[in-house]
Amino acid sequence: MATPRVTVWHEYRHEKTHKEVSDVYPEGMHTPIAKYLREQGLDVKTATLDEPEHGLTEAVLAETDVLTWWGHMAHGDVKDEIVTRVQQRVLDGMGLIVLHSGHHSKIFKKLMGTTGNLKWREANEKERIWIVDPGHPIAEGLNEYIELPHEEMYGERFDVPAPDELVMVSWFEGGEIFRSGCCWTRGRGRIFYFRPGHETFPTYFNPEILKVIYNGVRWAAPHAIKPTPVVNVKVPLETIRS
């Protein structure tokens, strides 16, 4: 497989309006993710909400093998036509990594068919992400768990289709659990949802978290991007005698 071409998409609004966010991510949350993936040898671009077409033109998508998505306060500002474009590209084979509050993004809900609802709490509590499928490619090189001293809590019930593969489950200090690392295939495209990444914590500087994102990109990278044919097969493959 050729080197995956990654587009790290970021809403990039919190950093411009919330000092507590820009203090943690002075160059935006997308920057440490893009930097890490580049260091692993991937071919990485970034794109943000306020660029024309949200930075997700047909041309950009045509050269993207895997798209990562972080959004939160401005899900509603993402144009429906761009969402449809991204969905079609995923169905044709592009990988998609949905991060944290992306659970409520239009693209995630559209691909899942569910609300993406969950419980949450901002209490700076401890999260321990347990690997429940250690043979999965996304678990490559990880220990039995990843510990984050301070994160926002997400709790079940997480309203998503049962994952095709469940790789990680989080324990939260305040008493909840959450299916934190979930894989689905839709069309030819592979989708990985990865829970951590609240905007006021330096989660995307954590090397283990970055490794999971990298593993997710590798897992989601397509073998080929092509549409599923819709064909009226007028000439049957075999003779029909009935």
Footprint of its own copies on residues 150-169 (CB under 8 A)?
150, 153, 155-159, 161-162, 164-166, 169
143 binds its own copies (CB under 8 A): no
Number of residues that bind its own copies (CB under 8 A): 78
Given candidates 3, 39, 77, 119, which one binds its own copies under the rule CB under 8 A? 119
CB atoms within 10 A of CB 136: 18
Among 26, 52, 135, 207, binds its own copies (CB under 8 A): 135
Contact criterion met (CB below 8 Å) for 191 and 98? yes
Q: Does 202 bind its own copies (CB under 8 A)?
A: no
Residues within window 214-233 making contact with its own copies, judged by CB under 8 A: 222-224, 226, 228-233
Q: How far is the CB of 49 from its own copies (least distance, A)?
A: 22
Token pair 């990843």 is found at: 146
Q: Identify the burial level of 107 via C-beta atoms within 10 angstroms of its C-beta, where 0-12 means exposed, 13-18 middle and 19 or more buried.
A: buried
Beta strands 5-10 and 66-70: pairing type?
A: parallel
CA pair distance 169, 171, nearest whole angstrom = 7
| Residue with Cβ nearer its own copies (79 or 119) | 119
Q: Would you count residue 140 as binding its own copies (CB under 8 A)? A: yes
Site for its own copies in 42-101 (CB under 8 A): 87, 91, 93
Q: Measured between alpha carbons, how far is 213 from 70 in angstroms, rounded to an integer?
A: 12
Closest CA to 67 of 75, 78, 77, 55: 55
Binding residues among 171-200 for its own copies as defined by CB under 8 A = 171-177, 179, 184-190
**Which lies closer to its own copies via its Cβ, residue 3 or residue 117?**
117
